[in-house]
Amino acid sequence: MSKLINVSSSPHVRNNVATKNLMYDVAIAMLPATVWGVMQFGIYSLVVIVATVLSCILSEYVYETLMHKPITISDGSALVTGMILGLNMPPTIPLWMPVLGGVFAIIVVKQLYGGLGQNFMNPALAARCFLLISFAGSMTRFTDPVADVIASATPLATIKAGGEYDVAAMFIGRIPGTIGEVSAIALLIGAAYLLYKKVITIRIPGTYILTFAVFAFIFGQQNINYVLAEVFGGGLIFGAFFMATDYVTSPITPKGQIVFGVCLGILTGLFRLFGGSAEGVSYAIIFCNILVPLIERVTLPVAFGKGGKKNGGK
């Protein structure tokens, strides 16, 4: 009885792949969207991403140094947080805002809760929501890569207002939006890499996208182009594959991941179709992050033996 088994906090990995390897694979998978975003919006968008990444890494280093904690910047988690946050920024945002977001993500959401594995919501998304609430004007000012002008309306806003939209342009990425969300094909290339490397499974993103598509078809328009536009528009593809699958803030049980994906799809649909904003992915993921402990409790497999399943499940 003296030999106790200690289970560490998530992320849990069942083989010899380290957290560092997983994080760098995620960073690699975001490179196609990063390259496309820079090509579309110009060199300043790259400056925004680099500044956000450096903000996250330096925040983690300074905090851990001051708190006399082990330095963990080499594990890649701060890099991934910075990339996700940077790719969620408008291309013309003042540089100090994403830098502030990086500090908020690492210090407030991650480190104050104990570091990697202890945060109860995705740090990058929490920081994005913080910036959206604090600086709504700057966070919703986008560049049209075709006309090379400032455009306040993204395709999702146009759809919500009943305007015309171009599904092909949304798939390729010739639309206004944040730096990393505009090209569905670039994001899907990165997603395919993550699936190939077995960093993620298809359960959460597949269930999320399918649930939302069904919701949009039923409560939106019974039109395949409309549904595709809703799927390719905004941050749905980015959120489904790169944020909802975060090891720390998503369920670990297979059934829980399915329930998680369904909840994400329904909430995103409610926010987009019935809310005041045309988007809703960030808020949906944050809300579902909070639900994860409950989802895992309900979907946890029942153990056999004393205190577990009795009489053959009767």
Query: Residue 158: its pLDDT value, please?
Result: 84
Rounded to the nearest integer, the mean pLDDT of the chain is 88
User: ∠54-60-62 over CA atoms, to 5°?
Assistant: 95
- Is 260 within the bounds of a domain? yes
Which range is least confidently modeled, 216-230, 234-248, 300-314? 300-314
Query: Residue 11: its pLDDT value, please?
Result: 54
Q: Are 182 and 216 in contact (CB under 8 A)?
A: no
The pLDDT tens digits for 168-200 are 999 999 888 899 999 999 999 999 999 999 999
- Is 67 within the bounds of a domain? yes
Q: What's the number of domains the chain is made of?
A: 1
Tell me how far CA of residue 216 lies from CA of 181, 195, 209, 230, 287, in angstroms: 19, 26, 10, 8, 20
- Is 308 within the bounds of a domain? no
Q: Is the pLDDT of residue 1 over 80?
A: no
- Is 312 within the bounds of a domain? no
- Dist. CA 248–CA 83, nearest whole Å: 17
Bridge partners of residue 144, in order along the sequence: 149
- Is 197 within the bounds of a domain? yes
pTM: 0.88
- For residue 154, what is the DSSP state? -
Amino acid at 60: E
The model's confidence at residue 16, banded by pLDDT at 50, 70 and 90, is low
Q: Is the pLDDT of residue 305 over 60?
A: no
- Is 304 within the bounds of a domain? no
CATH number at residue 199: 1.10.3430
Q: Is the pLDDT of residue 304 over 70?
A: no
Percentage of residues of the chain with pLDDT beyond 90: 67
Q: Is the pLDDT of residue 27 over 80?
A: yes
The model's confidence at residue 17, banded by pLDDT at 50, 70 and 90, is low
Q: What are phi and psi of 141, to 5 degrees?
A: -105, 110
- Dist. CA 120–CA 97, nearest whole Å: 23
Q: Is the pLDDT of residue 286 over 90?
A: yes
- Is 3 within the bounds of a domain? no
Q: What are phi and psi of 142, to 5 degrees?
A: -115, 160
Per residue in 225-246, is it b (16+ CB within 10 Å) or e — as a string?
ebbbbbbbbbbbbbbbbbbbbb
- Is 269 within the bounds of a domain? yes
The arithmetic mean of pLDDT across residues 64-85, rounded, is: 93
The arithmetic mean of pLDDT across residues 260-281, rounded, is: 92
Query: Residue 209: its pLDDT value, please?
Result: 97
What is the span of the domain harbouring residue 116? 19-299
Query: Residue 4: its pLDDT value, please?
Result: 52
**Helix, strand, coil percent content, the chain, rounded in steps of 5:** 60, 5, 35
Instruction: Look at the chain and count its residues.
Output: 314
The pLDDT tens digits for 142-169 are 887 766 666 657 888 888 888 888 899 9
Percentage of residues of the chain with pLDDT beyond 70: 88
Q: Is the pLDDT of residue 108 over 50?
A: yes
